[in-house]
Amino acid sequence: MPHTIAIVGGTGAEGLGLAVRWARAGESVIIGSRDVEKARETAAQVAANAGAGGHVDGADNAEAVARAGIVVLTIPFSAHATLLKKLRSSFQAGAILIDTTVPLAATVGGLPTRTLGVWQGSAAQQAAEMVPEGVSVAAAFQNVSAGLLTGDGPVDSDVVVCTDDERARQVTVELVEKIPGLRAINGGRLENARIVEQITALILAINGKYKVHRTGVRFTGLPIPAPR
């Protein structure tokens, strides 16, 4: 059964890429933005790119969150706490929040190869403290190249899913594996998200050394096949 997914920050590269991929897979997607017109324009762009896949709509962030059982955050860390405070009353009861946020120092003028200290331990743990009771948080997609997501080919990467809620894990894994090339990895509890977020800074450093922009991560030796 298709989900209704609100992508907060859906007009950015990562949000746009996820929206296209999930719309192609038949999901119903709502692009969220501070600017309603920009959200609607992006939704039209996604719909045209996705073809006859799922339904795509655009709305302001609060409306998008209120209409969806699954909310995906694709925003800079500098906006993380402020936006979650504004959206707190908009979440549906029992909603799932998938947080892709990485606390990169670049969001506050630092280097993209460094991360900021987060008092709660990670951006995802910060989110878990800020959402209403009954909303489950999963951390995922932090290490996936936005450039690959916005392309047309398979995405050569694993996605580590960290959460304290098994329903949130199951839903997140299903959404990961709707994107060709991606494989979901059970990363354990939400507290492990702090490690996954740090890997993004390492990936950016490696990209810089090799003059590339689409590095991914694969875990070998697991009893689950990597996508072909």
DSSP code of 92?
P
Flag whether 223 is in a domain. Answer: no
Q: Which structure tokens are listed for 166?
A: 């098994």
The structure tokens 């690959």 sit at: 148
pLDDT value of residue 53: 67
Whether 216 is in a domain gets the answer no
CATH of the domain at 188: 3.40.50.720
Sheet of strand 182-186, all strands in order from the earlier edge strand to the far edge? 56-60, 28-33, 4-8, 70-73, 96-99, 136-139, 157-163, 182-186
- Digit-by-digit pLDDT tens for the chain (228 residues) are 678 999 999 999 999 999 999 999 999 999 999 999 999 999 999 999 887 667 999 999 999 999 999 999 999 999 999 999 999 999 999 999 999 999 988 777 777 788 888 889 899 999 999 999 999 999 999 999 998 999 889 999 999 999 999 999 999 999 999 999 999 999 999 999 999 999 999 999 999 999 998 899 999 999 988 776
Calculate the CA 102 to chain-centre distance.
10
Other Cβ atoms less than 10 A from the Cβ of 162: the count is 29
At residue 53's C-alpha, the angle toward residues 3 and 102, to 5°, is 55
User: Residue 59 region, left (φ>0) first, then alpha (ψ -120 to 50), else beta?
Assistant: beta
Q: Which helix (H) or strand (E) holds 61?
A: helix 61-66
- Does some domain include residue 35? yes
> DSSP strand E in the chain: where?
4-8, 28-33, 56-60, 70-73, 96-99, 136-139, 157-163, 182-186
CA distance readout (Å), 127 to 70, 143, 152: 14, 18, 31
Structural domain range at position 101:
4-210
Domain-embedded: residue 227: no
**Residue 58 counted as domain residue:** yes
Q: Is 215 inside a domain boundary?
A: no
Total domains in the chain come to: 1
Domain membership flag for residue 132: yes
Q: What is the pLDDT of residue 86?
A: 97
59 in a structural domain = yes
